[in-house]
């Protein structure tokens, strides 16, 4: 999620530059963000125990209101994020592949790690209306995707903290983040 949040920040800060509202060059981080702002996978939020409880219809077994409320909130947020994810994935554009003359990979990733270096042609971007349209759509969708993931992750952390509190569990590393 840290990569995705950084890429979302990069496309946000690149927007006024690309649309000519700021007179400066794109930063390497902004160019990288445009190269990767099509990656929309969800964090791992499937919980085996939750799947079992849902499948057996036993979510109502929880008698603690705080646990029940946090669990319902998590399940609802996760469901909404997954539903939105389908539409988001369809609206995103892999800008580097669609506009290789504007976003070039100059140093490829040496392996499975995400570490390619991109080079952006700002003048070409500003002059191409199709690119501007696709960039804006991708930016809006990507920011929505990252926001959904943040909300689901925060909800899961809240559920974890409530369960720890109710069950009296204290982790060695401190409270749940």
Residue 172 lies in a domain: no
Residue 88 lies in a domain: yes
Distance between CA atoms of 8 and 112, rounded to whole angstroms?
Answer: 21
CA 42 to centroid of chain Cα atoms: 7
Task: Give the H/E segment covering residue 104.
Answer: strand 103-107
pTM: 0.78
pLDDT computed for residue 85 by the predictor: 82
Residue 33 lies in a domain: yes
Q: Which residues contact 112 (CB under 8 A, 6 or more apart)?
A: none
Residue 38 lies in a domain: yes
Residue 177 lies in a domain: no
Residue 174 lies in a domain: no
pLDDT computed for residue 45 by the predictor: 64
Q: Which residue range is the domain that position 121 belongs to?
A: 2-167
Residue 61 lies in a domain: yes
pLDDT at 62 over 90: no
């Amino acid at each position: 999620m840290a990569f995705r949040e950084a890429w979302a920040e990069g496309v946000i800060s690149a927007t006024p530059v690309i649309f000519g509202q700021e007179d400066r060059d794109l930063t390497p981080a902004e160019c990288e963000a445009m190269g990767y702002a099509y990656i929309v996978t969800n964090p791992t939020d499937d919980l085996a125990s939750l799947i079992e409880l849902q499948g057996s219809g036993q979510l109502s077994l929880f008698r603690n209101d705080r646990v029940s409320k946090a669990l319902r909130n998590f399940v609802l947020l996760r469901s909404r994020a997954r539903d939105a994810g389908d539409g988001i994935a369809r609206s995103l554009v892999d800008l580097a592949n669609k506009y290789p003359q504007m976003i070039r990979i100059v140093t490829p990733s040496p392996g499975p790690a995400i570490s390619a270096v991109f080079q952006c042609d700002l003048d070409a971007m500003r002059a191409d209306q199709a690119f501007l349209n696709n960039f804006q759509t991708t930016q809006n969708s990507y920011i929505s995707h990252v926001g959904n993931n943040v909300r689901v992750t925060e909800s899961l952390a809240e559920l974890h903290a409530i369960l720890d509190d109710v069950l009296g569990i204290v982790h060695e590393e401190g409270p749940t983040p």
